[in-house]
């Protein structure tokens, strides 16, 4: 491991945040975070790409205040985003935009007071959005929005607990 990698690893551990930006072909991003107060962001853009983003927060034990943002945008892309959060007060936001894309977004949250927003926009896309929220006395909310023309849309939200809010919007 070189000095730059060690510094980046130490910064990652101390601050509990990570960002990834990619604008090329075959972009794969994996962010794993342990502990409370973690934030992660992935941005993948371009044309004719395969973009894959995995964010896993609260790996070892349930954590508090987890935030994940994924943006995948462009034309003629295959976009796949997966966010897994284990803990309380989680927030996941996935935006997949552009035209002629195959978009897949999967969010799994286990805990209470979690929020998820999945937005899939554009024309001529195949969109698949899935949210699964579990937890005792959950108070979780999930919204999947799929907009555009000439799209094939699939949305599924699964929740257990109480005080739950779920919404699917397809235009």
Longest dimension (CA), the chain: 50
pLDDT tens, residue by residue, 9-39: 333 433 466 666 556 678 899 999 988 999 9
Instruction: Find the Cα–Cα–Cα–Cα dihedral 170, 123, 97, 23, rounded to 10°.
Output: 160
Is the pLDDT reported for residue 56 higher than 50? yes
pLDDT of residue 138: 73
pLDDT of residue 163: 87
pLDDT of residue 17: 65
pLDDT of residue 23: 60
pLDDT of residue 162: 84
Is the pLDDT reported for residue 75 higher than 70? yes
Token duo for residue 130: 């899935």
């Amino acid at each position: 491991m070189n000095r730059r990698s060690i510094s980046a690893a130490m910064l990652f551990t101390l601050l509990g945040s990570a960002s990834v930006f990619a604008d090329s072909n075959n972009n794969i991003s994996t962010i794993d975070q342990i502990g409370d107060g973690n934030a992660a962001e992935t941005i993948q853009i371009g044309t004719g790409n395969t973009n894959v983003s995995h964010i896993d927060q609260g790996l070892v034990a349930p954590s508090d205040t987890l935030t994940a943002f994924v943006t995948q945008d462009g034309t003629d892309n295959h976009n796949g985003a997966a966010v897994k959060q284990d803990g309380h007060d989680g927030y996941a936001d996935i935006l997949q935009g552009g035209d002629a894309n195959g978009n897949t977004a999967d969010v799994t949250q286990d805990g209470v007071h979690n929020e998820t927003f999945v937005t899939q926009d554009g024309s001529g896309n195949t969109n698949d959005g899935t949210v699964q929220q579990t937890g005792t006395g959950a108070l979780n909310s999930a919204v999947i929005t799929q907009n555009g023309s000439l799209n094939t849309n699939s949305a599924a939200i699964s929740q257990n607990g109480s005080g739950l809010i779920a919404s699917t919007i397809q235009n």
